[in-house]
Structure 1
Amino acid sequence: MTASLTFADSILINADPNTVYATVSDVTRTGEWSPICRECWWDDGDGPQVGAWFTGRNVTADREWETRSQVIVADDGRAFGWSVGPGRVHWTYRVEAVDGGTRLTESWEFLPEGQEFFVEKYGDRADEQVAERTAAARKGIPETLRAIKRVIEQQDEISRRRA
């Protein structure tokens, strides 16, 4: 295992790019849309800036675990990303203004360092575990994007009604 494994998908959200960016860069809201990550919190009072650290609690039918991540991209209104481990997996949201709103793209990259970590951790079962994580990303990213769209568009609708 020496090459990165990647997957990305996009969705159109009926909201402006700054609203979309503000939502996805607030990791404390991740539990509202992620099928696996139930909650995240900033470590030591950090926030959405390059170098900041946060911890996430993940839950599947088989197990529960925490990961520590570092923000590697915080380009206000354009992109927000983090490195799990760090150096094992990169997750990034890209925000792009388009007619009718914002295109939000979520990408996942399982880095060679992360795959090597799986070899050390799982031994002969490493390939199986890598395949499971790849399948989870391919299934989870579209689910996550649909949920983010729902959260943002409902939030905007509530704001319009109050105005």
Structure 2
Amino acid sequence: MTYELQDSIHVDAAPEEVHALLSDVTRTGEWSRQCHRCEWEDERRGVGARFIGHNRTLEREWQTVSEVIADVPGEHFAWSVGPGRAEWGYRMRPADGGGTELTEYTRTTEHLEKVFVERYGERAEEENAIRHAAAREGIPATLAAIRAVLTAR
């Protein structure tokens, strides 16, 4: 039931500018299809900092606690949801001709599989498939929305 997904897009901004935007998790609601708000748990930032995501779809609302696992200005910003259940992140690299190639990725873990079996029983695979489909559709939409935010700056 685990999966890994990623997609990339070109944005007309320097990698450091892209990183500065994406590592400010309080702005996530500007581009995410599910996470409408994030807040830091405390003043800490960088690897080890934790934040709460407030998420919603038409079917449900929920919160997650995530921990930053990568924070390299201009290169990489990532977090672990759960922690240890799923990883989400962005990689940035200078694009030929200027701007940034921005990649969003996610991967789930065997730990998430166990949590789903405990939580959903026989429906675990179905629930995982719903999340997989949402991520597969959401990543390109999120990347396009990030590009729009950067273009409007």
TM tier, smaller? over 0.9
SS at match of 2:42: helix
Residue 95 of structure 1 and its aligned partner are, at CA, apart by 0.5
Gaps of 5+ in 2: none
The residue correspondences of 1:45-56 to structure 2 (distance < 5 A) are 45-47=43-45, 49-56=46-53
* Structure 1 counterpart of 2:91, one-letter code: R
* Structure 1 counterpart of 2:50, one-letter code: W
1:122 to 120, 123, 129: 120
Aligned residue number for residue 160 of structure 1? none
SS at match of 1:87: coil
Q: TM-score, normalised by structure 1?
A: 0.91
Deviations 1:9-49 (A, max 9, x none): 000001111100101111000000000000000101222x0
- Give the Cα–Cα distance (whole angstroms) in 1 for the partners of residues 102 and 23 of structure 2: 12
The residue correspondences of 1:54-73 to structure 2 (distance < 5 A) are 54-73=51-70
* Structure 1 counterpart of 2:30, one-letter code: E
- Give the Cα–Cα distance (whole angstroms) in 1 for the partners of residues 109 and 139 of structure 2: 17
Gaps of 5+ in 1: 156-163
* Structure 2 counterpart of 1:103, one-letter code: E
Residue 130 of structure 1 and its aligned partner are, at CA, apart by 0.4
- Give the Cα–Cα distance (whole angstroms) in 2 for the partners of residues 5 and 96 of structure 1: 24
- Give the Cα–Cα distance (whole angstroms) in 2 for the partners of residues 105 and 30 of structure 1: 16
Q: RMSD across aligned C-alpha pairs, in angstroms?
A: 0.8
Query: Deviation above 2 Å: which 4+ runs of structure 1?
Result: none
Aligned residues: 152
The residue correspondences of 1:79-158 to structure 2 (distance < 5 A) are 79-99=76-96, 100-155=98-153
Q: TM-score, normalised by structure 2?
A: 0.97
Deviations 1:124-158 (A, max 9, x none): 10000000000000000000000000001111xxx
- Give the Cα–Cα distance (whole angstroms) in 1 for the partners of residues 122 and 28 of structure 2: 33
* Structure 1 counterpart of 2:58, one-letter code: A
Residue 115 of structure 1 and its aligned partner are, at CA, apart by 1.4
* Structure 1 counterpart of 2:143, one-letter code: L
- Give the Cα–Cα distance (whole angstroms) in 2 for the partners of residues 97 and 39 of structure 1: 29
